[in-house]
Structure 1
């Protein structure tokens, strides 16, 4: 099934940070996605936070599973699925940016942020291509793509 998914709203309920991590805590009515033109609200039944490394600026709880509800319908999405949405990735880094470890020059910070987002998207794209190669039983493409990880 092919779903059209976008982020309608992503606001932290609150943010905790320590030396190593920024933890973005989510709550009902602060996070919503649009799936096939229907708005689904985040419900905190499984994962409730996004954990980002302050130095590398990468999301660390990739396996977290988030629940979204519209009426009686509940949809689950993993962090890696959410990270494959460019608008989610952009909003997430915008929220976490003030908590990242300082970079000397502002322009370097913007370049680094863009590079991190591009790296994450490329990594996810390679994973999708690997899945596609497996589905098509294309061993040559699979071996080539695995070397890129």
Structure 2
């Protein structure tokens, strides 16, 4: 099993299109079968994120991690599949995303919350129509 132990950028470079998270020794480590492997910049050295779509662009690269003489390689696709990697990467890149995307996400979240409330009220009405007291009480607690 692979988990990210630490992910800190050596530095971050942002231009009009991309956020480049540059990695270096001692700033990125993973646990592979409960063994700590340190990042070594022999192959890929950066994570490139599109500022508008907030998607990782260089999906084809692979990163090298070393423990003693043992070297393990992880592709970007493998790293992206790790939830802790995505959370840490999003935290690092968040200040560099274009603001309009963040506002759009907030608006979407508000709309979703309103739709969920409307659906909850419909379910409460349905439980009243069916005279289902248990469902009614559990749904009203959610309001």
Question: Is the partner of 1:94 in helix, strand or coil?
Answer: helix
Cα 1:67–1:102, aligned 2, differ >3 Å: closer, same or farther?
same
Q: Which residue of 1 aligns with 2:75?
A: 78
> Taking structure 1 as reference, are residues 109 and 78 closer, same or farther at Cα in structure 2, changes over 3 Å only?
farther
2-structure distance, mates of 1:56, 1:23: 14
Structure 2 gaps of 5+ residues are 110-143
Which residue in 2 is equivalent to 1:54? Answer: 51
Q: Indicate the RMSD between aligned Cα atoms, in angstroms.
A: 1.7
Computing the radius of gyration from Cα coordinates, the structure with the larger value is 2
Which segment drifts farther, 17-26 or 98-107? 98-107
Task: Kindly report structure 1 stretches of 4+ aligned residues shifted beyond 4 Å.
Answer: none
Distance in 2 between residues matched to 1:38 and 1:94, nearest whole Å:
25
1:11 to 1:109, Cα distance in 2 relative to 1, 3 A = farther
Secondary structure (helix, strand or coil) at the match of 1:105 reads helix
- Report whether the alignment pairs 1:32 with 2:43: no
The equivalent of 1:95 in structure 2 is 92
Work out the CA distance in 1 between the residues paired with 2:23 and 2:108.
26
Which residue of structure 1 aligns with residue 41 of structure 2? 44
Superposition TM-score, scaled by structure 1 size: 0.69
- Aligned residues, how many? 108
Query: Which residue, 92, 103, 121 being the options, matches 1:105?
Result: 103
In 2, the alpha carbon distance for the partners of 1:30 and 1:61 equals 20
Q: Distance in 2 between matches of 1:62 and 1:110?
A: 27
Give the whole-Å Cα distance in 1 for the aligned partners of 2:76 and 2:67: 19
Q: Distance in 2 between matches of 1:110 and 1:49?
A: 31
- Paired with 2:107 and 2:41, the residues of 1 have a C-alpha distance of 33
Query: In 2, distance between residues paired with 1:58 and 1:81?
Result: 15
C-alpha displacement at 1:39, in angstroms? 0.3
